[in-house]
Structure 1
Amino acid sequence: MFDYDSELARYQERLLAAFDIRPGDRVLDVGCGTGRTTRDAARAASSGTTLGIDVSGPMLARARQQAEAEGLHNVDFVQGDAQNHAFVAEHFTLAVSRFGTMFFSDPVVAFTNIGRALSPGARLVQLVWQAADRQEWHTVIREALSGRQASPTPAGGGDPFSLADPEVTAALLTAAGFTAVDVVDVREPVRYGPDAAGARAAVLQLRMAKEWLTDLDAASAERALDRLSVTLDAHDTGDGVWFDSRAWLVSARRR
């Protein structure tokens, strides 16, 4: 399983500061994965509650194990799709997401459903990726494995860059019943492993890497993997393999 917590550690600090969680908050974490953000929110909402939702059973299993190991009793996890999950209406005082909202098939329906779960005036705070051509991790790995340079990805549901256009994202949130939309440019490096060998193993777990290798014959795949190793070696700082990246920190309020 790819270690997104390690990859996104620099973003985690920025995100937690933006959440501004109060002790009594009731927090919803959308697309929680293995639950790092959910658990951090639970510690901040010490007299409140947190709920993480994700479609991945294996990730949620790890999230529950970690929460138990850390002795957190105000956190829970549910397997489901935030686009249509039957949340308790107007229950949460804050909704958050760390790169978990870009894959909805119908973003307006999804954000409307999340909005119904929020109390009036409650905030939604999320990180989403900027365009593909602004992500070094995407462009150089794609070029290594596929031999093609990355091109800007058009907005649309179902891919990591579907919320890359701030105007489109603001319009989606407004249509879903949110107001006071604010978008902030955030730039942090992402870490793919402790060294080039570890990063290579991590990259090959990613869906995008598997897709780029799928149609290659054996010889072409071997050359692609050699190019990947050279790329990862070049980004090995001695303190991990790092790539540049850019995101939008998007906040809004439910009407």
Structure 2
Amino acid sequence: MTIVNEHQEQAWNGYEGRHWAAHQARYDAINSGFNEVLLDAVGPGDGVLDLGCGNGQLTRLAARRSGAGHAVGVDLSAPMLDRARASAADEGVDNVDFVRADAQVHPFPPAAFDVALSRFGVMFFADPVAAFANVRRALRPGGRLAFVCLDDVRRGDLGAVLAPLAAHLPPAGTDGGAPGEPLSFADPDVVRGVLADAGFVDVACDPRQEAGTWGRDAADAGDFLAGWGPIQHRLGPLEPSVAERVRAALVDAMRPYEGPEGVRLRNAAWLVTARRPG
């Protein structure tokens, strides 16, 4: 296995990957509102490639949608792929495989897939043009690409919730805009340029907002958010008393979003679609 994205390989096989694997149901509850807009790209009999598949919920749903087709989920994270395989076995989804690989350089069979999907997994490529060119080669001529990527967090509810961290974080909406970072595709012009350079055509970027459930109540949601990798990384160096005040402020910031279904936050994203020429 060849890996060029060593920074992400370390993160997703370290604390970040273990946290996502341990909280599989929680992360699916946060992000699953975007499943249907992605699954619209999948038809009966399709071969599906899921990029940055994580715990594999979207991959398994795509496998079911494709019926007689097949789905392959690719990720760097061994802990999450273990969860993905176990979930597929528990659910009886047998037309799916999970592969630990770096999608930027992995030797996918050429023209083997009808559609490539991703739910918040493509923002982390170290060289996005090279990665998407590799994905394009894996698609048949005319094959489809559909993914969701993070928009500026200030357009959803998370920006307001993160306000208590303002003294310890870069301004909301500007952190992570470099290649390989969470907000690297927040600018649709960047997305269009990357995909065009990678050989895709008919690129469209549509803004989407979907609500996700972060916890049972404010205390549960705030505690979970404090353990989320990007937040945990910044809380770690703080004095314990300061970190505890920030955690308490996160709980308070969650209170306006409490409801009968738990704490629900609107997630802002771009739905990006494109196709391989041919």
How is 1:1-255 mapped onto 2 (pairs within 5 angstroms)? 1-2=22-23, 3-17=26-40, 19=41, 21-137=42-158, 139-147=159-167, 149-153=171-175, 155-255=177-277
Kept in 2: contact 1:180–1:253 (CA 8 A): yes
1:151 Cα offset (Å): 4.3
Deviations 1:73-109 (A, max 9, x none): 1100001111111111110111000111000010001
Paired amino acid for 2:172: A
- What is the alpha-carbon distance in structure 1 between the residues aligned to residue 204 and residue 155 of structure 2? 20
| TM-score normalised per structure 1 | 0.93
Which segments of 5 or more consecutive residues in structure 1 lack a partner in the other structure? none
State the 1:196 CA deviation.
2.2
Provide the rounded CA distance (Å) in 2 between the counterparts of 1:120 and 1:204. Answer: 44
Report the CA distance between 1:156 and its aligned residue: 2.1
Tell me if structure 2 keeps the 8 A contact 1:147–1:224. Answer: no
Say if 2:44 and 2:67, in contact at 8 Å, map to a contact too.
yes
Unaligned runs of 5+ in 2: 1-21
What do residues 98-154 of structure 1 show as CA deviations (whole Å, max 9, x unaligned)? Answer: 1110000100010011111111110010001112332322x2343224546524347
In 1, distance between residues paired with 2:242 and 2:227?
A: 19
SS at match of 2:149: strand
Task: Give the RMSD, CA atoms, in angstroms.
Answer: 1.6
> Paired residues, what number?
252
Aligned partners of 1:131 and 1:153 also within 8 Å: no
* Structure 1 contact 25–48 (Cα < 8 Å) conserved: yes
- Please report how far the alpha carbon of residue 39 of structure 1 lies from its aligned counterpart in structure 2 after TM superposition: 0.4
Matched letter for residue 39 of structure 2:
L
Whole-Å separation in 1 of the counterparts to 2:213 and 2:174 = 23
Contact 2:154-2:160 at 8 Å conserved across structures: no
**Identical-pair percentage:** 40
Give the AA of the match of 2:96.
Answer: V
Cα 1:151–1:186 shift into 2, 3 Å: closer
